[in-house]
Structure 1
């Protein structure tokens, strides 16, 4: 009798319908499990992509990633419902400190530079549910070592290649970050820019790149060039993703005085980005900055037609930046390079082989076959020579005035426009380690770089299968509106975008 009763109770339990609350709980769990599986699968696919197209000798060997975390998929699954990033993978340019890997700036002089600490921006990514997937290759020392370098080459990582044409340049200095995101090796990446080092590789690799207002993201833990112009920024496949990564990274840092206002200026940069309207928006077109290449002009003309169709009002602006602005920028960069790099190297933990810029120059001379075979270090040598501080301060004040108050600010005010646009760069040029880069000089990125203002590049088309980006430049702390406008253009864009070929151009 007891056996029969127990059997009946068991049968009833099997046939009983779950309550509504139980059904909702089960559905929620199933949904959460599916989301976790999707996040894990995405990270696993990205790791396999690194293995296949970056490392495999039978693959294109893009040399975009220096080191990666093979357990990223497992970690992504654990973080699938954590923070804003929810297990998304982010690659970090190898001049930004991460606790588990060396931070080399691409130089063999720093190949053992394991600081055991995260830069604040990296800590923010981890703390908001992001998976730090690895470190990306770069133009060595962020392309400040030589005036005739090959973008994307470093002593540590070799030559980074462009996934659209593997014999062509990825630009730099955030070369690996741009190439890796374009090739599907990560959800996003972090680059750094002093002048063009985020926006150029983003444009040439067919992705979105955003150089924020200097001071919106901390530079602590980043191998420096210039405290006046350096900033990290997001590199992603969409403007909304760039806005999300910026939201995570932005914020004040007591160790970086430039970020004193960052908390006050920080916002959810993704809010409303998907519905922002260009109707009636006055946009300044920098007509001289498109150059005379017919392919670039064709793509730029189509982008303008798309903006007009979306309701924007385009205002032609005839402007040419003064040569003294670039002259004085050089004085600033050389002076600050020596001062800032010496301070960074002197404070490194452990026993690094270099503590000053002079040490780095000597190291390169002693390791000339590995470090100086393809190009020299004339810029380092120039920076090492003493410069009068008064002359430096005068140069900084003048370059900032010409780029900011009398540059971007004046152009916006006098023409009653909210942003400036121009092509970001030309198409990728052939890699040439023997004689260095050979690029088409278009765009207006130096204005934003010197002034410290926001600069967004968004893919706008292609020339012979090679990506071309469209620049949006706005005023200081105008980051949100620049991103909103860029996202609205992205939705309005009609040009077909190329896809990475992973082979030599023309094959």
Structure 2
């Protein structure tokens, strides 16, 4: 799920050149079909503002959907050519009208009632939206059932607006890929700087939120695929605790690490969406809605601030200084460290787990969700791609698909189990030395380095990323906008023990207010050196 972080080592600073194609200018008022003029402009609304406008009758869900569909039509495959959306739900407007009628009748299903949500294209829906993981082998595939989280969102009154493009097969197809590219959807672009990566694999979900194509979106992560695109596109992303959200119906990489999570422009918005997606197990862990926790003062007494990446980008020291000052002013003890390094054995064990479970879990999904028999095994998908050639594969290979296809689930089971145990022990030890043994309430560290240029020859050029420990251990993490390197967003991540989402979200909200680092993207075409 979603971006496998295995390489690092690139970073440049550029200066801004003249640019055109700025975001669409807000209108003073909007109208929807057969509605009176509204006093609320839907452009760049926060989730809380949208909720209030709907409750006050100053905005309808129909108007909100109409606005986002216009934004997508203007800037997805034309205009800024962001390629964030792969398919639009033809029923989105009728869903909005139905939910507006329910609201007028006094029926409000939940706090999410009437709010649009974009889903990553690896999440099954029982409608006319295909579930493809961006792969030509699954082109047009309609699933016979909703994923569990989709059923939950529909029950809560969310509007499924569209599906989002992604790194093909959630960036687990082959080496030297470029994040955000898929054979079906093309290349997703970063709305802050169109020549640069959106990161992945939940590229389209993050960009859809960042570019105001939607209020909310769902991404998925195996290692970094919520955290990296959220940070690099300047929005909020939550990677929940293991088992906090059902994975049923999502095209998998590996159930040991796969998890879906929310993306939004504010901590409150992300928490609200997560509330509607929680598993029964998670609901038992939390005594109040996460969206309520996100509006409360933090209870953290001591946090560890990781400064090991200060030299990776010249903007980071000031950002971390400001962050530390904000925490100290709030009465929270800040202990800094410049040491943060995970053992190489962790990455090796992680990859072994992912390859094994990819074979086991993906082939089960292909059968359960009725993919045609000639493409319901990894070997058949590999053969399909080879037969189609460049049309299916583009500019890189399918090494991970091939490695997984070659796995023998019986004879390789022992070594897989050893790798699973090792990866979890190493990742938990890296976090527990601070969270359990030294009693820190959270670890705060830079999420990822700034975006790099899109390169369809060499592939991604990661500078650094910090998602792996929490991803493998199954601990929750939250990334929020923290500042900028030139015009490229930088995020900071908050990591805590399992089921500490309420505490992390309260702390993230405090930092969100104090750092005030969110900015609308400029849709800059290119930078000059």
Please state which band the TM-score falls in when normalised by the shorter chain. 0.7 to 0.9
Show the counterpart of 2:366. 345
- The aligned runs of 1:391-430 (5 Å cut-off) are 391-404=415-428, 406-430=429-453
d(CA) in 1 for partners of 2:189 and 2:256? 30
1:75 aligns with 2:103: no
Aligned partner (choices 362, 368, 374) of residue 383 of structure 2: 362
CA separation of 1:393/1:183 partners in 2, compared to 1, >3 Å: closer, same or farther? Answer: same
Q: Secondary structure at the match of 1:288?
A: coil
After superposition, what is the alpha-carbon deviation per residue over 1:19-71, rounded to whole angstroms, capped at 9, x for unaligned?
Answer: xxxxxxxxxxxx97952734332222111111111033xx0110000111355
After superposition, what is the alpha-carbon deviation per residue over 1:253-296, rounded to whole angstroms, capped at 9, x for unaligned?
Answer: xxxxxxxx334225411124223136x62111123255532123
Asked if the contact 2:145–2:369 (Cα under 8 Å) also holds between the matched residues in 1, the reply is no
d(CA) in 2 for partners of 1:171 and 1:33? 36
Asked if the contact 2:312–2:463 (Cα under 8 Å) also holds between the matched residues in 1, the reply is no
1:485 aligns with 2:507: yes
Structure 1 residue 186: deviation in Å? 0.6
d(CA) in 1 for partners of 2:58 and 2:419? 53
Asked if the contact 1:290–1:422 (Cα under 8 Å) also holds between the matched residues in 2, the reply is no
d(CA) in 1 for partners of 2:238 and 2:64? 24
Aligned pairs, number: 463
- The aligned runs of 1:73-222 (5 Å cut-off) are 73-80=93-100, 81=103, 82-83=108-109, 84-100=111-127, 101-222=129-250
Q: Which structure is larger by alpha-carbon Rg, 1 or 2? A: 1
Structure 1 residue 301: deviation in Å? 2.7
Aligned partner (choices 422, 425, 433) of residue 456 of structure 2: 433
Larger CA deviation: 455-464 vs 33-42: 33-42
Structure 1 residue 353: deviation in Å? 4.3
d(CA) in 2 for partners of 1:242 and 1:273? 9
Show the counterpart of 2:352. 331
Q: Secondary structure at the match of 2:59?
A: helix
CA separation of 1:291/1:394 partners in 2, compared to 1, >3 Å: closer, same or farther? Answer: farther
Asked if the contact 2:346–2:423 (Cα under 8 Å) also holds between the matched residues in 1, the reply is yes
After superposition, what is the alpha-carbon deviation per residue over 1:412-445, rounded to whole angstroms, capped at 9, x for unaligned?
Answer: 1233210101110011110001110012114x21
d(CA) in 2 for partners of 1:216 and 1:373? 36
Gaps in structure 1 of 5+ consecutive residues: 1-30, 253-260
Structure 1 residue 468: deviation in Å? 0.6
Structure 1 residue 79: deviation in Å? 1.8
1:51 aligns with 2:73: yes
Structure 1 residue 492: deviation in Å? 1.8
Q: Secondary structure at the match of 2:336?
A: strand
Q: Secondary structure at the match of 1:270?
A: helix
After superposition, what is the alpha-carbon deviation per residue over 1:449-503, rounded to whole angstroms, capped at 9, x for unaligned?
Answer: 0001101000011111111111000111112211121112112225x44431223
Larger CA deviation: 371-380 vs 185-194: 371-380
1:471 aligns with 2:471: no
Asked if the contact 1:461–1:498 (Cα under 8 Å) also holds between the matched residues in 2, the reply is no
d(CA) in 2 for partners of 1:439 and 1:154? 19
Show the counterpart of 1:18. none
CA separation of 1:440/1:265 partners in 2, compared to 1, >3 Å: closer, same or farther? Answer: same
Structure 1 residue 246: deviation in Å? 0.6
After superposition, what is the alpha-carbon deviation per residue over 1:106-127, rounded to whole angstroms, capped at 9, x for unaligned?
Answer: 0010012101321110111111
Show the counterpart of 2:279. 251
- Root-mean-square deviation (CA, aligned residues, Å) is 1.9
Gaps in structure 2 of 5+ consecutive residues: 1-52
After superposition, what is the alpha-carbon deviation per residue over 1:134-164, rounded to whole angstroms, capped at 9, x for unaligned?
Answer: 1000000000111210000001100001111
Query: TM-score, normalised to structure 1's length?
Result: 0.87
1:305 aligns with 2:325: yes
Q: Secondary structure at the match of 1:55?
A: coil
Q: Secondary structure at the match of 1:234?
A: strand
Show the counterpart of 2:316. 296
Aligned partner (choices 350, 359, 384) of residue 405 of structure 2: 384
CA separation of 1:415/1:37 partners in 2, compared to 1, >3 Å: closer, same or farther? Answer: same
1:320 aligns with 2:360: no
